[in-house]
Each structure stands twice: as structure tokens, then as C-alpha cells.
Amino acid sequence: AQCPDAGDVEEHLRQMRTYRSELHALGQKLSDLDFTMTILTSLPDLWDAFIRAIDPTDLVPATEGQAPRLTSSKLIARILQEDRRLKQRTVDSETALVSCNARDESRITCFNCGRRGNRQD
């Protein structure tokens, strides 16, 4: 499964968890490391910088019998946090664009009646 560039990352992760559960129900266990790597490789290309920022040594246990520092659950939490941050940045930039493009209607003179602030479209 590959998340499209303009796809909903949250929905994609939900689908990936469903696939993992279905595999488990069929008797095919997917290790946490394999699931983590599958998630990383299924993200859109615009997530490449995020993926490169992950330390590969965090994906494997430091010593035998220990869990890795970055489990699939922690990775999913990080991805969702980054997705929210990216969405908020988009909303903020759109709001700033609207604010910059807003016109001061009080300085407009109506061509119809000649009054300031009256705008006839």
C-alpha cells in the first residue's frame, strides 16, 4: 500500500494497521521492525525529509531482548504529529494570504455614487 502524494496520511495509517491485523488473523505475523519499515516506505515522496531524519539505529534494539527506541506505535504517533503540523502550516499560510489580500474598503470610492467605503460590484 502506498499513500498518494495528496492522500490522507491518517487514513493511510489506519489502513496499514488494518492490513497488519488481517495478516495476523491469517496466521502471518509481521514483526514490529518490518511493520515500521513498511510504514516508512509507504509514505508519499514529500515525506522523504521526515524519513531521512529518522535515526536507523532507533529502529533496532540496542541489545538483545530490548525493544527498539522507535517502535511502530511511536513512529505512527510522530507521523500523525508531523501531519497535523503540516496541515496547520498550510492553514496558517492560507490565512496569511487572505489577510494580505484583504482590501481596506474605507479608502475605496464608489464609481456609482461617489461615496467612500461604498463598493458596488
13-41 per-position pLDDT tens digit: 999 999 999 999 999 999 999 999 999 99
Domain chopping of the chain, boundaries: 9-95
34-45 per-position pLDDT tens digit: 999 999 999 999
The CA-based diameter of the chain, rounded to the nearest angstrom, is 83
Q: Of 67, 20, 111, 74, which is closest to residue 82 (Cα–Cα)?
A: 74
CA distance 33 to 31: 5
Q: What is the pLDDT of residue 85?
A: 93
